[in-house]
Structures are given as structure tokens and as C-alpha cells.
Structure 1
Amino acid sequence: MTKHYRPTKAVIDLGAIKKNLAAFQQKSGDAQVIAVVKADAYGHGVLAVAKTVIENGVSMLAVATPDEALFLRNEGIETELLVMGATPSSFIPVAQQRNIIVTAVSLEWLSMAAVQLSPDLNELKIHLKVDTGMRRIGIQLDEVDEAFGFIADHDFAFQGIFTHFATADEKDSSLFHEQVHAMNSVIDILEDPSVMVHVSNSAAATMHPELACDAVRIGISLYGIAPSLYVGEEMDFKLYPALSLETEIIHVKQIKTGEGLSYGATYRAEQDEWIATLPIGYADGMLRGLQGQDVLVKGQRVPVVGRICMDQCMIRLSEKLPVGEKVQLIGHQGGQQIFIDEWARRLETIPYEIPCILTKRVPRIYSDSTEVSNLPFQEPDIMLR
């Protein structure tokens, strides 16, 4: 095991991931859970997360890029892998050889892929992406019939069809229901019952379990983060945050009234103050916009003061504390807790972004402290055929 000398670390509770996975497995009934592990498992560490979810019943992982899929294959992950983004033509033979499912995103892509197919390799496994309203990638609704015909006439292994909801995490459900209706029209003309249908992301799987179809794709909520404030307030089961971020005080000094600190001296002491330095900065993902954000020391909130530096930042203490005192930046200490959502609000962004911006310089340390329990869910009230 690699020894880390700097005390800054992200602690990932794999037990929390197990509990979140179990909640969605229960809520989704007979539908399988596709675990979305793109972007290094949303910053949580893809190998540890992939192995954990596979050991707990997941039979398909989803990533965003061909390189993410190849990394998992090269690390010995043999379960089904779906690349949800568009793949270049040069990857088609590799996907055949390495048993990687790719996404057909347009008629043009299908034509390109057909030319690249190698008859000496396995059939190319594809899932067809349908654009029902996200307007990002995917076959247009008026092209679906033609796409079905093209796939049938060529050596593709047509294994799945899916869409992505743009507003499943919002209170205004008008576009969401338009997308549901559009996808229903596609499913109505899908003749092969063996083709897997999956439409729900974390938000839809939480708010509309009746849309589970054959599978649900669980990304952000696998890691214990609600897709939005609205979903978090409405959901009928508990999520368990998997990531905490911690460090230690490395230096303490007292500054005098009126003295400034850090770059630009933008913060000046209003009285004699104890200032502690922490070994974490914007090169680690502690962005400069987090100036003023609280951290936890001895179970109490204290603020980050002055501009955050590349490798370090400063906090204002209420008393002199020793070097080595534990500091919690995300997570709980004593009776207090700082959630990822709090960082997101201060940075005026979404919670998804926070674990993803923690850089490789912050080691991920794994624990497993929780126990799977039964979680309640509600019966469906609308249907996707």
C-alpha cells in the first residue's frame, strides 16, 4: 500500500455505496441497475467502486468514453461495459475485440460503424440512443424506423435502446412527460423484446420507479448525492454520502489586528486572531471560490479566510490548536456535518461537480463502515409501456 505523507485525503465509504445500490435495486423491482462509473466514478475511484458494485449484484457498468472502458478492461473488469458517449470509427474493431458495448448516436454513425466492422471478430454490441428532448446526441425520432432497418440489415448485435431525460430532477415536469411520450412511441415499434430498454437516470429512478423498464442507470445517487434539491426533498428513502474530505493543521500562528494574510491581503484581522494553515488548495480541488466556506475543527465550524492558494489555505480558529489537529472539509465531525451540497451552493454549481473536481493529488482511502438495511419505497402511479 502506498504511504501518503501529506494528511489531506478523501475517504470513500464503500458501505455507503452498497446501501445506496441496495435502495435502488429494491426500488426498481425486476429491473437491473446499471452502475454509472464515468469520470473515475464521479471522483470516487472507479476500480474500487466497480469491484464493489459488481460484488453486490451489478452486471453492467456505464462509462462516458472508450478510454474509460478500456481502462476497466485492462484492469481485469470483465462485466458488461456500455460506453454512453459517441465513439470514433477507429474504436469499432477494438470494441468488438474487447467486448465493449458502444452507443449508436445517429444514422451517420451507423453507416460509419458498418464499414469498420471486422468479420473476424465478435459482433459489435450496440445500444441505440434516441434523442427525445435532451438535444445532445442521439437518433432523431423521425429516423428511428430507418435506424431499426439499417441495424437489421447489418451485423450488429442490437442489445439495448435508451434515452436521457433533461428535466427529471426538476419540479416542472412538462418536458419530462413529453420525453416519456416520445419514448413510448419508439418502444411501440420496437419488435424485438430481447432489446433492453433503459430510460431512467438517478432522478427518474427516484421520482418515477414505474419507468424502470428493463434497467435503470444510477450515477450521482449511487454515491449518496441527490440529483437536485427538489429530488432530495421529495425522495422517500435515505441516501448515504460516500465521500468525506479531511486534512490536518500543519501550521499555527497569531496575527495582529489589521494584519492581512494570503495573496492580495484581501482578509485583514479585526482583532488578534489565531490562524491555521491547511495543506489543501485549488490544485487539489479546493477552489478559490470556497473562500469563506466553513470547515470543522473539534466539532465546530470555522471559516476559510484569505485567498485559497494552489497548495494551501488558511482558517481562523477561536483558540490556539496544535499542529496535527484533524480538520473535516466535507463530512461529519462531532455533531456537525458539511455536505457536498454546501460547497456546490457556495460555488454556484451543482453537487455533481464537487467530487469530480477533487484531483488525483488527493488520495482516495477506502473504508466500509455501514450495513445494508431495508429501505421503503412507493408504488408507481404512471407507466412507461
Structure 2
Amino acid sequence: MQTFYRDSWVEVRLDAIEYNINQLKQHIGKDKKIYAVVKADAYGHGDTQVAKAALDAGAAALAVSLLDEAIRLRECGFTCPILVMGWVRPQDASIAAEMDISLTFFQEDWIKEVKNLDLANPLKLHMKWDTGMGRLGIRSVEEMQVLLKEVQEDERLILEGIFTHFATADDSDAAYYQEQQKRLGEMLTEFKALWQDQVNVHTSNSAASLRYPGNEEDFVRFGISMYGLYPSPVVKGERQIELQPAFSLHSRIVHVKKLKEGECVSYGATYCATEDTWIATVPLGYADGWIRRLQGIDVLVDGKRRPIVGRICMDQFMIELDKEYDVGEQVTLIGRQGDEEITADEVAAYLDTINYEIPCMISERVPRVYKSNQHIVDIENSLSTNSRKMM
């Protein structure tokens, strides 16, 4: 097992990943299957470790955004179905076919270029429908007809699935969601009239999976909530299922000093002590993803909230203490100490963003410690030459 030589680390609870998937399985029913969404290094949690935990818990397939992400999973030994949900260059489709990776398509020119490739293996495809997200996908039955004809003409192409994405499934106002559902239903009716073979339909993201489990589909895509975070305050308030956060962020005090009244801290001297004050230095900074805008937010020391003071540096920040602490005292930036907890939601609110962004922004420079039932099962340190474990 790898190790690391710094006093800052992320803990990822793999048992929480498994718990959240089991909660969703009970909620949506046994007939629906789950795509575990592990794009962006599993939202900053670690793709291979999370993928294994998700599959062990009953997820049927994996979904990513980039072909590179899918190839990495294959090279790490994953043999389950893998879908790339983003756009892939048509000339790279042969690599996907060779590695049994399913691709997303929605453009006539794209499919024609793919058909000109020398495909040694069948290429599995998922057609993306834009029912209102306005991002990727076909927007009309006419486009669908053209693409289906192109696929039907080439036996090397396998239409494995169709999918869409809801823009407001996590919103209190369901009007736009219902409009997307209406468009989806109309397109599905036309599709079934044109295509007789069985395909997998997947439309629900985490929010729709939790709020509208009755949707007619074969798969749901479990992303943010697999990691124990609710997609929005609305969904969190409804609490259709209980989730357990998988991600926490920790460091340790490396230096303690007492400032005299009037002495200042960090670049720009934005904080000056108004009285004699204990100050601690913590070895984590904006190069690790703890960005400068987090100046002033609380962290936990000895189960108590203490504020970050002065500007956050590239590799360090300072906190104001209530008393003197020893070097080595643990500091929790996200997570629980005693009765106090700082959540990803709180950090997101401080930054005026969404909780999705918080684990994603913590860089690979911060080692990941993987636990299951409080036992360390893996450590990943991107700065190590053996940083990526193969299954």
C-alpha cells in the first residue's frame, strides 16, 4: 500500500458509496439498473476505487464523460459496460470499438465519418436527445430518422441506448421538467415506431431518480448522490432517501505562534490581531484546491469551529485558535469532529456555487485515503511513481 509524506489528505468512505447505491436500489425498484457516474475522477473521489465499490454494491455499468476516462478504466481491468456521455472525435471511434466502450452520438456528419472507418469490432452507440438541456443531442424526429437510417445501414453499428438529461429535475418548480418529459414521450413514441430492436433507455439523473422514481426507463444515472450529496437544497429538504457523504478533507497543524495586538498574517496583511491571539499554520493551499476565496470560512479543531485568517497561500493557510495547540493537532476542513460538522454544502454556499464543485476542486496533489468500515483499504498518492493501482 502506498504512503504519503504530507499532513493533508482526503478520506473517501467506500462503504458510504455502497450504502448510497443500496439506498437508491431500494427506492427505484429491482427492475431498473444503475449507471454509476465516475467521470472527473469520480467527482474527485477516485475513479477506480469508486467504480469497484459501486459495482460491488450492484451498479450494472459505468458512465464517464471522456474517452480517455473510459480507456483508463478498461486498462485498470474493468470489464463491465462503460458509456462515454460526451462527444468523442469520430476518428477515435475505432479505439472505442476495439475496447468495447459505448459512445454517444447525435450528429449526421459524425456517424457518416465513423462509417468510413475500418472498424474491426462492432461499435456500441447511445443516441443523445436534447429535450431541453440545450447542450448536446438531437432536437427533432427528423434528425432521429436520419441517424437511425445511417445506423441501420451498417451492421457494425449497434444502437445500444437512447438518453436525455433533465435541466431542472432538482428544482421546486416542476414545469420545465414536465415539458422535457413531454418532449421525451413524444420522441419515444416516434422512436418505437421506427425501431423494433430493444435498446436501453436512461433519462434520470440523481435528482430525477430520487424525486421521480416512476419514470419508464431501463437505467438511471447515479452521479452526485452516489457520493452522498443531494443535487440541490430542494432535494435535500425532501430527503427521499438518506445519503452518507463519502468525502472528507483533513490536515494537521504544523506551526503555532502567539501574535501580539496589531501584528498581521499573510499576504496583503488583510488580518491583524486586535488582541494577543494564537495562530496556527496548516499545510494546504490553493494549489491543493482550497482557493483564496475561502479566506474567513471555518475549519474544525478539537471539535470547535475556528476561522481561516489572512489570505490563503499556495501551500498553506492560517487559522485563529481559541488556545495553544500542539503541532500535529488534526484540522478538518470538510467532515465531522465530535458534534460539529462542515459539509460540502456549507463550503459551496460560502463560494456561491454547488456542492458538485467542492470535491472536484480538491487537486490530485492531496492524497486519497480509502476506508471501508473505518479500515484503510487503499491509499492513492498522485506524486508517487506507483500512484495508480491496477486491479
| TM-score normalised to structure 2 length | 0.92
Counterparts of residues 38-187 of structure 1 (less than 5 Å): 38-118=39-119, 121-142=120-141, 143-155=143-155, 156-187=157-188
* Partners of 1:205 and 1:212 within 8 A in 2: no
Aligned counterparts of 1:62 and 1:212: Cα–Cα separation in 2: 20
Deviation by residue 1:24-46 (Cα, 9 ceiling, x = unmatched) = 11112111010000000000000
Q: Does 1:288 align with 2:292?
A: yes
Tell me, yes or no, if the aligned pair for 1:207 and 1:235 is still in contact at 8 Å.
no
**Letter matched to residue 151 of structure 2:** I
SS of match in other structure, 1:227:
coil
Provide closer, same or farther for how the CA distance between residues 180 and 193 of structure 1 changes in structure 2, counting only shifts above 3 A: farther
Q: Which aligned pairs between 1:278-317 and structure 2 lie closer than 5 A?
A: 278-317=282-321
Deviation of residue 54 (structure 1)?
Answer: 1.4
1:200 to 200, 204, 208: 204
Identity %: 45
Alpha-carbon contact 2:21-2:58 (below 8 Å) kept: no
Letter in 2 for 1:140: R
Paired residues in the alignment total 368
1:154 Cα offset (Å): 1.9
Q: 1: CA distance between counterparts of 2:81 and 2:57?
A: 15
Q: Which of these residues, 237, 241, 249, is aligned with residue 245 of structure 2?
A: 241
Q: 1:212 to 1:18 in 2, by over 3 A?
A: farther
| Aligned residue runs from structure 1 range 260-275, under 5 A | 260-275=264-279
Contact 1:261 1:306 in 2 (8 A): yes
Deviation at 1:67, TM superposition (A): 0.3
Distance in 2 (alpha carbons) for counterparts of 1:87 and 1:105: 11
CA contact (8 A) 2:90 2:111 kept: no
Distance 1:280 1:331 in 2: 16
- Letter aligned with residue 71 of structure 1: R
Q: Structure 2: any 5+ residue segments left out of the alignment?
A: 375-391
Match of residue 387 from structure 2:
none
> C-alpha separation between the residues in 1 aligned to 2:106 and 2:136?
6
Work out which of the residue numbers 216, 221, 224 in structure 2 matches 1:217: 221
Letter in 2 for 1:134: M
Q: Deviations over 1:94-137 (max 9, x none)?
A: 0111000000122222222222252xx22110000001111111
Letter in 2 for 1:292: G
- Specify the alignment match of 1:351 in structure 2: 355
What amino acid is aligned across from residue 302 of structure 2 in structure 1?
Answer: K
SS class of match (1:210): coil
Local SS of the residue matching 2:116: helix
Kindly provide the amino acid, as one letter, of the partner of residue 245 in structure 1.
L
- CA drift of 1:149 comes to 2.2
1:348-384: CA deviations, max 9, x gaps? 11100000011011011011128xxxxxxxxxxxxxx
Contact map agreement 1:117 1:124 (CA 8 A) in 2? no
Q: Distance in 1 between matches of 2:86 and 2:72?
A: 16
**Once the two structures are superposed, what CA deviation does each residue of 1:34-83 show, in whole Å capped at 9, x if it has no partner?**
00000000000001011111122222100000000011111111111000
Distance across 1 between alignment mates of 2:310 and 2:189 = 59
Q: CA deviation at 1:292?
A: 0.6
Q: Secondary structure of the equivalent of 1:160?
A: strand
Contact in 2 for aligned 1:31/1:212 (Cα 8 Å): no
- Indicate the SS of the match to 2:347: helix
Farther-moved stretch of structure 1 (142-151 vs 245-254) = 142-151
Deviations 1:146-188 (A, max 9, x none): 2222221223111100000111111122211111011111211
Does the CA contact (< 8 Å) of 2:62 and 2:82 recur in 1?
A: yes
Deviation at 1:212, TM superposition (A): 5.2
- Pick which of 131-140 and 147-156 moved more: 147-156
- Quickly say closer, same or farther: Cα 1:137–1:117, change in 2 above 3 A: farther
Equivalent residue letter for 1:131: D
Corresponding residue number in structure 1 for 2:384: none
Q: Which moved more, 1:232-241 or 1:246-255?
A: 232-241
Matched position secondary structure for 1:127: strand
Q: Which residue of structure 2 lines up, in the alignment, with residue 24 of structure 1?
A: 24
